[in-house]
Structure 1
């Protein structure tokens, strides 16, 4: 598929970068290796011709390949602490020529990714199952096949190629499994219901954002955190996360988890009212009920920190939001047949488009592909404008990490043939 044509969007970042001034550059220099030069000229993009630096497509290409020039080698991908070598079967094909499992949605704009490191996948898969079974008692025995079929180790290794150690990967993996348990047990397939969902989500959220109450009532709250599997998983995953995250990174995650829970509540309200929202309303809900908490922690998983002021910039927030929105529509498309086969009516973008725009199932699905592609191209254009306007190493690395998460998320959906299959629309 040819490269998309990028149209430079309006950005507030040039002014923002000037506002930060010496603070931003000092922080950028602090992220360089100890033997790197510390002049402004050593920062990424400094060795790029001016006409190329002004081109969003060229800027995005540099994000994905990493910074270049003296002293920037360590910024491309973090040096990794490799897990123990595990025996692997002989592949039938050379790794570079072996096709990925499953078929991508025809016409879907995406970037293929290399097969994730099998040793890391095996180690993360082993550790997450031990955590789910032994530490938090997350699921009964008859859910084991579904847990294995989720392939969360493969998912997280594909999404976080710059994680320096398996311990860093486990931060994201525990949170992903805990979030999935909350969705299943509170909202979806395994006993979930829209009735009373607000109370359940509020109490679960206190496992992430602790309750500060009187000594008389503190023990009752602490006891409640052990009362069901989702709360146990949330609490344990967050305890591990805060051991490696800064205070601002932890608070950022709590904020994005609150966004996620708000989206759950909107969808639950439509279910209780048996209402199909307008397409724009559905997309608004999906900006909250989406994958955003996952890419927003890419710096913690990568072993560094994007400063809070830079993370909060409107242009950065737009990049993160577009990434979350695009990846969530990927989920709508790949889970379409799975949801149609489930009891009740599941809202997803093709279903809403068919109902609200009077389209056939096929027409609605193909239009949802177009919506996804528009979101992806907006994400890439905004990401390119952002790094061109604010050439700070932490910004470049964070945006590159978000882009890697977007690509890894598609890879997992495409290759998880245990969970997903495509409709027969082509």
Structure 2
């Protein structure tokens, strides 16, 4: 496979991204919170230095390497070729578009208005946090094979986004399919329709509008596909089982967090990373990620993936014992088994770094957790009818509310919508308060990126009618 190159067109994306996620921070205006008076004006966020940590080795694969018996993926015929180098991450270009003006506000909130408008100075135009005057109307989809149709769930609090850039969607879709087929041998031929129907290129372009290059978008796209493969093959749709899940997840996790052992045993472990599709995809996706991520960003991602795997194990234990959790227990599990690893890398995909000490602040951790929880309930709601048609009892928030609170399923579903809405409002309020209290450009940009991910995630669920349809409750 030839080395990936840059997207042929940028399509004015930094300018288009400038208004996304503004609803999160604009709420601070109505709260009348003042920013710190000594906020440094015109500061440009730090650019990721592109330090490349030690990558997982690519050992020779012996002929006849067996596939794991717990999944139907085909095993590779030969050792994968060396992972091609991508174009080095350039510095994020400054947008040429003017910063949108913020409507006049009372003098008491003038400092906060400056935060929402964004910093001024060379290279900071793309950091504007001003709200769009009106929500963009979705346009017909182009590229990636996904129709831009589908109605949002009535009463669900969300923010529309523009249709994802078709040029980037087409390029990301082309590259991710080539990666899946040629580099990691991800799926057998009869699963091709499902892979195409996932339209992951359109998903990731919509979630990361500030990505400076297609190479940055591909980092998120590979990781998303790899995580989905682990979920499907180890846990659910394609041969997954709760029995023995812990051992499978542990070995897969070593593709993200490599084993440090003796020379005698390291080759056998390295060879195991090619044994099945989930491990092959984790290994490759992580190797690409490490080329753009700083060490602290990589460590952050590994930590959130461990959280994800812990959530998988909790859900599996309930399946083994036929336990229907209390609603609060289910929501606890979903705080771990959720989308959190995706928005947590928003700065890596954006080509900058939110410093580790700022990312670790309790207020930032709360914002990220609320975003992950809200977006995961979006998945519960849109996938409800899909899961209802699958064999056995599939736990999701409407089902758990109905069972534990003895409600008709329609009432339980509508209550789950209310739970989502409360989490979304809490996410936006907490993010606005954090932006006002910590007017650092990288913080503001990261919060805007997380908000854009939340909106893009909803847009993909709403419009992916190949996978999802709404229940007949209205």
- For Structure 1 versus Structure 2, the TM-score category normalised by the shorter chain is 0.7 to 0.9
Q: Residues 25-424 of structure 1 correspond to what in structure 2 (within 5 A)?
A: 28-29=43-44, 31=46, 51-52=108-109, 62=116, 67=118, 69-71=120-122, 73-76=124-127, 100-424=148-472
Aligned to 2:263, the other structure's residue is in SS state coil
What is the Cα-based RMSD across aligned positions, in Å? 3.2
User: TM-score normalised to the size of structure 1?
Assistant: 0.84
- Aligned residue pairs total 386
Could you list the per-position Cα deviations for residues 55-83 of structure 1 after superposition, in whole angstroms to 9, with x for gaps in the alignment?
A: 7xx799x3xxx615444644338xxxxxx
In the alignment, the residues of structure 1 paired with residue 190 and residue 207 of structure 2 have an alpha-carbon distance, to the nearest angstrom, of 28
In the alignment, the residues of structure 1 paired with residue 306 and residue 150 of structure 2 have an alpha-carbon distance, to the nearest angstrom, of 34
Q: Is the 8 A contact 2:41 2:119 kept in 1?
A: no
Aligned to 2:227, the other structure's residue is in SS state helix
Q: Is the 8 A contact 1:59 1:387 kept in 2?
A: no
TM-aligned CA distance change 1:256 to 1:167, over 3 Å: same
Aligned to 1:383, the other structure's residue is in SS state helix
TM-aligned CA distance change 1:97 to 1:229, over 3 Å: closer
Aligned to 1:337, the other structure's residue is in SS state helix
User: TM-score normalised to the size of structure 2?
Assistant: 0.76
TM-aligned CA distance change 1:252 to 1:313, over 3 Å: same
Q: Which runs of 5+ in 2 are unaligned?
A: 1-22, 48-90, 95-101, 129-135, 142-147
Q: Is the 8 A contact 2:293 2:348 kept in 1?
A: yes
Q: Is the 8 A contact 1:320 1:402 kept in 2?
A: yes
Q: Which runs of 5+ in 1 are unaligned?
A: 37-44, 78-93
Q: Is the 8 A contact 1:31 1:393 kept in 2?
A: no
Q: Is the 8 A contact 1:35 1:71 kept in 2?
A: no
Kindly indicate which of the two structures has a greater share of residues assigned to helix: 1
